[in-house]
């Protein structure tokens, strides 16, 4: 049967260290792997870009030479002499649809220019064609050859582009040569005479065979290559797929190449023929040609994988070393701890004589502190158990002596207890007789207390009735004062309302006057309107004013009528208010009479209550004398009863104390017997501890 694995401290430390090391190593390896992959990919792009920049620089230098040659031809004094004598094929038709060009045989300036072109071509083998076209349609070409019927150079792209850009050398897009199929680029510039007038266009065709050969010979990595396209996107060289030469990048079906100009300096991941590639785009700042370095992604991955293998091997070695170090550290940490646990187990089993090595006690770590604490605890326990052993022996001997003396004390206490019990019985009989007399006195005192309480209640009720009667008189007097104030306020209100009634009458008179004035104003305005009508055109303005005055008079009359109606309503309400105040005044007079009668009744009640209080006070005085005599009698019996009870209590206390003392002596004897047994048990337990060093 396999032994179950213990999850002890050493295993915990080991697992923790190994996990931390593995996590750290794994994260470090992944980080290094990602960094290496990024840096290798970036190195590939940088190396490719530098190589392409060199090729682009060489091509730019080559085309600079071509531009210089074109400009050299255009500014040559011989070429600037072209005129209408240059042969034109615009209206010429060949026998079989083709025209034979023979500039060398045509003589004159045309033959001289042809020979000039011929001499240049001997030192420039990459120039397949040199030609010019005049503004009259004349055309010279080296080498001479055939052309189509009615050939006119002026509509050609190389001619029109140069005319549109008279101060620049224009380069056409690449195209395949008719005879060899090699890529050719045309460079052209305008020809000006000495007066600055454009007389034609000079052109030079350059074969790009050497460029495509250079591109084809370029190696990017093991199997990578470069795709070259001109400024229009036409592919000039594709070493891996030459059949797509002269196609446009947009026609390859690669989404990333749809807008290649925006990807200058970008690094792309593309798919060609269902295979993944890394691509780096470089666009020449001078001529706009595109260089696309393409490398199989698996080739980039090979280099990365090789480094990944090395990183993995290093990680494994680090992990193995770390596990070994973890094993050593876990053992070094847990070994002294296990030793300390062993010492604790020995002490726990009762072996206090265990000897802890000095090397463990001298450790300066937390383990050393723990071991020193264990050693101190061991010594304290040795001292404590030794002291307990000595004390137990002394206790056992003392208990034996006390038990002997307690037996004698117990016998004497029994005799004393019996005598005290007889004395207590006699004291109890005497106390009972005194208690009966005291009870009779208490009953008499209770009756006197009841009579006194009843008299006191009557007196309290009389006093409260007197207080309530006085409060009633005060309230009635306040009520009379408030009735007087209310009556005065009612009279003042009636006077104010009468004043308002008089004011409304005056307002009614004023409104009557306003109505009369409005009527007269209306008549005057009507007469004015009639007079204005008689005056004709001269009175038209006055007629308008009269109409406005009449309108205002009518509005004033209407407002006065409304006010008169409101005043009439106010007068009616004032009359009703005067009537209500009169009725209220009569009610106030009746209420005042009733209040004064109530005040008289309260005064009669006050006289009766005062007489009752005088008689009740006399009864209360006699009752106080009875209470005093009752208290004197009660005090006498109380003193006698107290003395008797005190004697009985003392006798009972002495009897109880004697009995308690006897019981205590019995308990002490029992405890001493138990103490003897415990002392023996303690000695037996102490013997289990080994406190003597061997």
- Residue 2: the pLDDT is 44
**Which of 380, 46, 20 is closest to 372 using CA atoms?**
380
Q: Could you tell me what percent of the chain has a pLDDT over 70?
A: 67
Distance CA 160, CA 147 (A): 19
Lowest-confidence segment of 41-55, 164-178, 569-583 by average pLDDT: 569-583
| Mean per-residue pLDDT over the chain, rounded | 75
- Residue 59: the pLDDT is 80
Q: How confident is residue 658, by pLDDT bands cut at 50, 70 and 90? A: low
The predicted-structure confidence for 178-195, as pLDDT tens digits, reads as follows 556 667 888 999 999 999
Q: Which two structure tokens, joined as six digits, stand for 257?
A: 């190449």
Distance CA 352, CA 344 (A): 10
**Which of 630, 615, 610, 515 is closest to 565 using CA atoms?**
515
The predicted-structure confidence for 295-310, as pLDDT tens digits, reads as follows 777 666 666 666 767 7
The predicted-structure confidence for 382-433, as pLDDT tens digits, reads as follows 677 777 767 766 766 666 766 666 666 666 666 666 666 665 666 566 567 6
- Residue 3: the pLDDT is 46
Q: How confident is residue 131, by pLDDT bands cut at 50, 70 and 90? A: very high
Lowest-confidence segment of 239-248, 273-282, 421-430 by average pLDDT: 421-430
Q: Which two structure tokens, joined as six digits, stand for 160?
A: 């029109």
Over residues 310-335, the mean pLDDT reads: 75
Distance CA 410, CA 404 (A): 10
542 — phi, psi (to 5°)? -65, -35
Put residue 246 in one of left, alpha, beta given phi > 0 → left and psi -120 to 50 → alpha.
Answer: left
Residues of each domain in the chain carrying CATH 3.30.450.20 = 42-302
Distance CA 654, CA 657 (A): 5
Q: What is the DSSP letter of 570?
A: H
Q: Could you tell me what percent of the chain has a pLDDT over 90?
A: 11
- Residue 136: the pLDDT is 93
Q: What CATH number labels 370-686?
A: 1.10.287
Distance CA 343, CA 331 (A): 18
Burial class (CB in 10 A: 0-12, 13-18, 19+), 357: exposed
- Residue 5: the pLDDT is 46
Question: What SS3 state is found at 197?
Answer: coil
Distance CA 172, CA 231 (A): 9
Whether residue 199 has pLDDT greater than 90: yes
pTM of this structure: 0.41
Q: How confident is residue 352, by pLDDT bands cut at 50, 70 and 90? A: low
**Which of 328, 276, 338 is closest to 6 using CA atoms?**
338
The predicted-structure confidence for 500-542, as pLDDT tens digits, reads as follows 667 777 777 776 787 778 778 778 777 777 877 777 776 677 6
Q: For 182-327, where are the E strands, in sequence order?
A: 183-192, 198-207, 225-229, 235-237, 267-272, 275-283, 290-296
Cα angle 140, 146, 150 (rounded to 5 degrees) comes to: 75
Q: List, in order, residues 6 or more apart from 266 with CB less than 8 Å away.
A: 280, 281
Residues of each domain in the chain carrying CATH 1.10.287 = 370-686
Lowest-confidence segment of 80-89, 201-210, 440-449, 469-478 by average pLDDT: 440-449
- Residue 464: the pLDDT is 77
Q: Are 283 and 59 in contact (CB under 8 A)?
A: no
Topology classification of domain 42-302: Beta-Lactamase (3.30.450)
Q: Which two structure tokens, joined as six digits, stand for 499?
A: 């004043």
- Residue 100: the pLDDT is 86
Distance CA 191, CA 163 (A): 10
Q: Are 225 and 240 in contact (CB under 8 A)?
A: yes
Distance CA 108, CA 86 (A): 9
Over residues 137-164, the mean pLDDT reads: 91
Q: Are 680 and 396 in contact (CB under 8 A)?
A: yes
- Residue 179: the pLDDT is 57
Q: How confident is residue 4, by pLDDT bands cut at 50, 70 and 90? A: very low
Cα angle 142, 146, 151 (rounded to 5 degrees) comes to: 95
Over residues 459-487, the mean pLDDT reads: 73
Distance CA 172, CA 170 (A): 7
Over residues 63-75, the mean pLDDT reads: 90
The predicted-structure confidence for 18-60, as pLDDT tens digits, reads as follows 788 778 777 777 777 677 666 767 777 777 778 778 777 878 8
Distance CA 102, CA 108 (A): 12
């Amino acid at each position: 049967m396999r032994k179950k694995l213990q999850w002890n401290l050493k295993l915990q430390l080991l697992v923790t260290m190994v996990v931390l090391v593995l996590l750290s190593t794994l994260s470090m390896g992944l980080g290094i792997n990602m960094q290496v992959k990024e840096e290798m990919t970036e190195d590939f792009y940088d190396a490719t870009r530098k190589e392409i920049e060199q090729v682009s620089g060489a091509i730019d230098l080559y085309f600079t030479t071509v531009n210089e040659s074109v400009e050299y031809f255009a500014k040559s004094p011989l070429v600037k002499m072209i005129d209408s004598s240059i042969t034109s094929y615009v209206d010429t038709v060949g026998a079989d649809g083709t025209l034979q060009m023979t500039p060398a045989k045509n003589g004159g300036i045309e033959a001289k220019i042809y020979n000039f072109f011929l001499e240049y071509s001997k030192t420039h083998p990459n120039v397949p064609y040199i030609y010019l076209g005049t503004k009259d349609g004349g055309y010279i070409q080296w080498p001479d050859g055939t052309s189509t019927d009615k050939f006119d150079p002026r509509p050609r792209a190389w001619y029109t582009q140069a005319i549109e850009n008279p101060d620049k050398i224009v380069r056409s897009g690449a195209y395949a040569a008719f005879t060899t199929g090699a890529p050719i680029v045309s460079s052209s510039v305008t020809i000006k005479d000495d007066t600055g007038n454009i007389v034609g266009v000079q052109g030079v065709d350059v074969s790009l065979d050497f460029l495509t050969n250079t591109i084809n010979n370029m190696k990017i990595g093991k199997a990578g290559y470069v795709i070259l396209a001109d400024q229009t996107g036409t592919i000039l060289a594709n070493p891996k797929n030459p059949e797509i030469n002269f196609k446009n990048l947009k026609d390859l079906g690669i989404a990333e190449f749809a807008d290649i100009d925006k990807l200058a300096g970008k690094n792309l991941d593309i798919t060609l023929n269902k295979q993944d590639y890394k691509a780096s785009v470089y666009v020449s700042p001078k001529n706009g040609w595109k260089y696309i370095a393409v490398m199989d992604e698996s080739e980039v991955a090979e280099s990365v994988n090789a480094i990944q293998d090395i990183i993995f091997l290093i990680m494994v070695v680090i992990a193995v070393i770390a596990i070994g170090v973890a094993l050593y550290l876990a053992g070094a940490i847990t070994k002294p701890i296990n030793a300390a646990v062993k010492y604790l187990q020995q002490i726990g089993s009762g072996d206090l004589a265990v000897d802890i090595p000095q090397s463990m006690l001298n450790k300066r770590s937390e383990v050393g502190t723990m071991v020193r604490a264990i050693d101190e605890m061991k010594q304290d326990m040795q001292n404590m158990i030794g002291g307990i052993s000595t004390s137990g022996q002394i206790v056992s001997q003392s208990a034996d002596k006390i038990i002997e003396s307690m037996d004698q004390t117990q016998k004497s206490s029994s005799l004393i207890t019996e005598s005290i019990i007889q004395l207590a019985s006699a004291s109890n009989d005497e106390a009972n007789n005194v208690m009966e007399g005291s009870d009779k006195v208490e009953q008499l005192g209770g009756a006197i207390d009841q009579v006194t309480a009843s008299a006191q209640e009557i007196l309290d009720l009389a006093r409260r009735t007197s207080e309530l009667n006085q409060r009633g008189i005060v309230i009635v007097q306040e009520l009379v004062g408030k009735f007087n104030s209310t009556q005065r306020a009612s009279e003042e209100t009636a006077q104010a309302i009468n004043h308002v009634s008089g004011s409304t009458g005056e307002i009614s008179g004023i409104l009557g006057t306003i109505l009369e004035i409005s009527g007269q104003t209306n008549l005057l305005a009507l007469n004015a309107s009639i007079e204005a009508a008689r005056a004709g055109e001269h009175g038209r303005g006055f007629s308008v004013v009269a109409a406005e005055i009449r309108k205002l008079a009518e509005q004033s009359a209407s407002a006065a009528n409304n006010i008169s109606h409101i005043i009439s309503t106010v007068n009616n309400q004032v009359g009703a208010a005067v009537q209500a105040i009169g009725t209220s005044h009569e009610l106030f007079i009746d209420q005042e009479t009733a209040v004064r009668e109530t005040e008289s009744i309260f005064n009669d009640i006050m006289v009766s209550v005062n007489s009752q209080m005088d008689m009740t006070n006399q009864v209360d005085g006699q009752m106080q004398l009875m209470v005093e005599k009752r208290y004197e009698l009660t005090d006498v019996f109380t003193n006698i009863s107290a003395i008797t009870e005190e004697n009985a209590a003392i006798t009972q206390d002495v009897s109880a104390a004697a009995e308690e003392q006897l019981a205590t002596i019995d308990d002490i004897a029992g405890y001493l017997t138990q103490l003897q047994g415990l002392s023996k048990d303690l000695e037996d337990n102490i013997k289990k501890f080994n406190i003597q060093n061997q």
